[in-house]
Amino acid sequence: GAVVSQHPSWVICKSGTSVKIECRSLDFQATTMFWYRQFPKQSLMLMATSNEGSKATYEQGVEKDKFLINHASLTLSTLTVTSAHPEDSSFYICSARVGLAEGYEQYFGPGTRLTVT
């Protein structure tokens, strides 16, 4: 099946710094990738939809200037958490979409755990 990787799998950063998380589709091209955030014991909340070559579409309540998304190629999307604060600590998961029609599938990366100290 389709494989999606994320890097890093775990990162600790100091408050005020920025962190970049990469999401790659390893054996397929993805025109659309989704970024989710998961709090402990809670569901995955969609943050934004990333389309190759265009601006990301953010969900209501997600600060686009804080969570910068770049989808520069058909196999790579990046999420940059700018000026991170402890409340940004969470598990970030990306997902790549395969197929264009209504029957498309989503394949998920293993997630990145961000801890802001």
Partner 1 sequence: GNSVTQMEGPVTLSEEAFLTINCTYTATGYPSLFWYVQYPGEGLQLLLKATKADDKGSNKGFEATYRKETTSFHLEKGSVQVSDSAVYFCALKSFTGRRALTFGSGTRLQVQP
E strands, the chain, where?
Answer: 4-7, 10-13, 19-25, 32-38, 44-51, 57-58, 67-73, 76-81, 90-98, 105-108, 112-116
Q: Which residues have a Cβ under 8 Å from the Cβ of 42 and sit 6 or more positions away?
A: none
Contact string 86-115 vs partner 1 (x = CB under 8 A): -------x-x------xx-xxxxxxx----
Q: Find the binder of partner 1 among 4, 19, 69, 79 (CB under 8 A).
A: 4
Q: Scan residues 23-42 and list those touching partner 1 (CB under 8 A).
A: 34, 41-42
Tokens standing for 98? 């395969």
Least distance CB 74 / partner 1 (angstroms): 18
116 binds partner 1 (CB under 8 A): no
The Cα–Cα gap between 65 and 60 comes to 13
Least distance CB 25 / partner 1 (angstroms): 12
Binding residues for partner 1 (CB under 8 A): 4, 6, 34, 41-44, 46, 49, 59, 93, 95, 102-103, 105-111
